[in-house]
Amino acid sequence: RTIYLKDYKVPPYLVDHVDLRFELFEEGTRVYNSMEIRRNPDADPGQPLELDGEGLELEGLTVNGLPLAPSDFEVTSGGLRIEKVSDAFTLGVVTWILPQDNTRLEGLYKSSGMFCTQCEAEGFRWITYFPDRPDIMARFRTRVEADKARYPILLSNGNDVDRGDLEDGRHFVTWEDPFPKPCYLFALVAGDLVEKRDRFKTQSGRDIDLRMYVEPRNAAKCDHALDSLKRAMRWDEQIYGREYDLDIFMIVAVDDFNMGAMENKGLNIFNSSCVLASADTATDAAFQRIEAIVAHEYFHNWSGNRVTCRDWFQLSLKEGFTVFRDSQFSSDMGSPTVKRIEDATLLRTAQFAEDSGPMAHPVRPDSYIEISNFYTLTVYEKGAEVVRMIHTLLGEADFRKGSDLYFERHDGQAVTTDDFVKAMEDASGRDLSQFRLWYQQAGTPVVDVTDHYDEQARTYTLTLSQHVPPTPGQSEKQPQHIPFAVGLIGERGADLPLKLEAGASDAPRNRVLELTGAEQTFVFHDVAERPVPSLLRGFSAPVKVRYPWSRDQLLFLMSHDSDGFNRWDAGQRLAVDVIQSMLGQPQEQTVDPRLVTAFRQLLSDTDLDLALVAKMLHLPSEAYLIELSDVADVQAIHSARTRVLNQLALELQDELLACYLRNREDGDYEPTPEAIARRSLKNTALGWLLHINEEEARLMALKQFESATNMTDQAGALRSLVNSDFEADRSKALDAFYERFSDDPQVVEQWFSIQAGSPRAGTLPAVEALLEHPAFDWKNPNKIRSVIGAFAGQNLANFHAEDCSGYRFLARHILALDSTNPQIAARLVAPLTRWRNYGEVYREGMRAALEQIQARPDLSKDVYEVVHKSLKG
């Protein structure tokens, strides 16, 4: 059944207060739920009361304390219906649930011996009957009862207001959350956990108790998350004027979790891999990811919890805005250019692919079958880009006015993306009506650029034209409002003044052009020489730019553009051009020497920003090259890219070696941007050298592997060896690594994904063997992601084997997982969805795999929606 945005109706009944009591046992959990309900004055009177519920055993139902006769209510497939109710009443529901058997990881479930919850988006209905929609905001009081020895820690949202002992070695704690909230923000945790405490003083002088709860073996892995949290709290005060509002802020780490983390009010729950870190077990990337996710969940306290979504079509209201906020935060904590490169890479590789595939949907979708399928790169990442464009158009000061107005106007409400844009308009006086199309139209806009230099008139004319390609259900599109940042670079490499009128003085050298029409012309005056245009600086809009740069122009931009992002981008475009020109060419075809020279300069220039160099050395990924092709031939792409890499490594051996040695540092581990850049450079150089089986590099890798004092270097050396032809070293290193870290699930997950993602070791039989490994666990999403996800998502040459074995493998496991964890199963379909964009062998194999999945009766809504839409197109 499809749900449509246009069918939205205000809820007929509101819930003001919820009183919950959980009796947690090993055989099951009894939930007592007492709701104060009243008729919504804004809704049509006389409607029945309908509550959502899934997988519940109903044990009792009362109205104002009196049991309801079986004829007074009806238990339906997805809930419970009471035909006649009064205008205000208390509804009591008792349900019995089986958290210990819950493999879906939605609602209340058990993860390594502890109880925990995940209610977003529609998990609360697996706990009790309730109107499970975000525009019902209630005050919650929660009493948790459990065996005291097994579950000494009992948590829920808000403040603990009561606790005590009960009979039979049991105990209870009562929590009260003073802020009304939708039920998707409800959380409960019970377990034998250690508590790490910290404090934060808010700008207004309130003392906040920070508490982190983890399994005892993880006690030493909390510092980074707590430090990140304090930085995020301070940053949100300084940049957005947002202060924390409860007395306690809690973070819990759980091993089995479908997503990264969850912003439950006052009680954030994290996937262990997104919160636990120590230098010897977590890579630099993990440290950065943790900082960003801790901040993201914390920022939700305002953008999501205080102001929430009216319905799930508005998901980007909280996610787009919060991702934008966390990216600003990460940018402020590290290197802004690098952060921008990372965000743009993700967008251009994965979101653009989503936006041009069968699951393409607007940032604010119009319909869905299963909302879990819409926690997408489009809603999150493109949604964040949309907010970023508002920030660019309004400027820092007006954007802040807009966000202040938004929080003030809508505090305690469940609202829409339109309300957000309206607040931005009202605060700034800008008209964003055309801009709203970014929320409504799916697809990535393409901007074609042509230029003309008139030597006589000394004018330079840029003509921009845009079109948005058709997407499923949207064949005709309107032109969008695109902030298009540009610069013009003169012959000597300096930015020229950008005068939109002749004779203007003090012209800026950076301008944001506003493209609103299908085609628009911009004339720059007093331009003394033919410039090279630097287009879409800082990736100012999530669009594709087409301009016929010559390779020489790209080389020029690579070394002269004052915009760091575009320097990197010029390098990427050049590399893409070179790789594409080698597609289907013979083995001995040589690489354009200009690319070699450019990389030599990068490796040797010690004045350059190391972090930028580290990024520039990464060749465009296979996934990006596939995204750029109309009909992808994966094996040809893999082979062309590998040949380029090989030749670069062969030609630049000396420089790579010098770069490796220069950036080998000793001393204490620090995840600072500078140290991270050095390690990244060093490990990239090492990887390239091993790629060409360089003997000296092999010895360096072995040495680094043995003596590394941090996980970045340890895993970097392991990855280089695993991807090399040094068979014996590879297996010895893998065994040693496993031996050392076998009791640490986060490191074992890295060990799995290095193997499953390796084009050499990661052939299908080797990946199948990993699934039989004792550390592999079909109930743990991280393990599934680190083997099956890494294989299908990163090991593209093997996944897209021409005999289609990779596709059959994936289909088989999607089907097996569908009955235990449909959310995870549906995520795994993604690598098959764009089958139409591949060459014939691949295309037919992927389609066959999708058809095989679709043929299964009783598919979950989750998998059904993705497979069905993929086949339909």
Residue with tokens 């990442």: 381
What does the block give as tokens for 25? 């046992």
DSSP H or E run through 532: strand 532-535
Q: Is 262 in the site for ligand ARG (CB under 6 A)?
A: yes
**Shortest spacing between CB 373 and ligand ARG, in angstroms:** 9
What does the block give as tokens for 20? 């919950």
| Candidate ranges 196-204, 256-264, 471-479, 841-849; the one touching ligand ARG (CB under 6 A) | 256-264
The yes-or-no answer on residue 59 being catalytic is no
| Residue 437: partners with Cβ closer than 8 Å, 6 or more residues away | 478, 480, 481
**Shortest spacing between CB 212 and ligand ARG, in angstroms:** 17
Considering only residues 601-660, where is the footprint of ligand ARG by CB under 6 A?
none
Residue nearest to ligand ARG (CB): 375
Mark residues 315-334: x for contact with ligand ARG by CB under 6 A, - for none.
----x---------------
**Shortest spacing between CB 378 and ligand ARG, in angstroms:** 14
User: Which residue among 50, 122, 297, 622 is the active-site one?
Assistant: 297
Ranges of beta strands (E only) in 87-220 are 88-97, 107-111, 114-118, 138-147, 153-156, 159-165, 170-181, 188-191, 194-201, 207-214
Q: Which amino acid is at 294?
A: V
**Shortest spacing between CB 347 and ligand ARG, in angstroms:** 17
C-beta of 123 vs 131, nearer to ligand ARG = 123
The residues pairing with 261 across neighbouring beta strands, listed in sequence order, are 270
Q: Is 853 in the site for ligand ARG (CB under 6 A)?
A: no
C-beta of 127 vs 447, nearer to ligand ARG = 127
Ranges of beta strands (E only) in 339-378 are 367-368
Q: Is 119 in the site for ligand ARG (CB under 6 A)?
A: no
Are 737 and 719 in contact by the 8 Å Cβ rule? The answer is no
**Shortest spacing between CB 261 and ligand ARG, in angstroms:** 5
Q: Is 120 in the site for ligand ARG (CB under 6 A)?
A: yes
Tell me the C-alpha distance between 114 and 192, whole Å: 7
> Where along the sequence are the contacts to Zn ion (CB under 5 A)?
319, 322
**Shortest spacing between CB 116 and Zn ion, in angstroms:** 18
Query: In this chain, which of 259, 532, 575, 829 binds ligand ARG, going by CB under 6 A?
Result: 259
Query: In this chain, which of 89, 298, 375, 524 binds ligand ARG, going by CB under 6 A?
Result: 375
Handedness of CA 564, 569, 574, 576 (dihedral sign): positive
| Residue 407: partners with Cβ closer than 8 Å, 6 or more residues away | 242, 302, 306, 307
Q: What angle do CA 752, 755, 756 make, to 5 degrees?
A: 80
C-beta of 305 vs 758, nearer to ligand ARG = 305
Work out the burial of residue 279: count CB atoms within 10 Å of its CB; fewer than 13 is exposed, 13-18 middle, 19 or more buried. Answer: middle
- Give SS3 for 108: strand
Query: In this chain, which of 50, 263, 495, 622 binds ligand ARG, going by CB under 6 A?
Result: 263
C-beta of 240 vs 842, nearer to ligand ARG = 240
Q: Is 132 in the site for ligand ARG (CB under 6 A)?
A: no
Are 766 and 759 in contact by the 8 Å Cβ rule? The answer is no
**Shortest spacing between CB 742 and ligand ARG, in angstroms:** 30
Are 297 and 270 in contact by the 8 Å Cβ rule? The answer is yes
| Candidate ranges 140-148, 261-269, 511-519, 744-752; the one touching ligand ARG (CB under 6 A) | 261-269
Strands 207-214 and 194-201: antiparallel
Binding partner selected for residue 259 from ligand ARG, Zn ion, none, CB under the kind-specific 5 to 8 Å limit? ligand ARG
C-beta of 182 vs 531, nearer to ligand ARG = 182
C-beta of 268 vs 392, nearer to Zn ion = 268
- How many CA atoms, within 13 angstroms, populate the side-chain half-sphere of residue 553? 16
- How many CA atoms, within 13 angstroms, populate the side-chain half-sphere of residue 178? 7
Q: Is 212 in the site for ligand ARG (CB under 6 A)?
A: no
> How many residues contact ligand ARG, by CB under 6 A?
11
**Shortest spacing between CB 381 and Zn ion, in angstroms:** 11
Query: In this chain, which of 297, 311, 343, 561 binds ligand ARG, going by CB under 6 A?
Result: 297
The residues of the shown chain that bind ligand ARG, judged by CB under 6 A, are: 120-121, 259, 261-263, 296-297, 319, 372, 375
User: What residues are annotated to the active site?
Assistant: 297
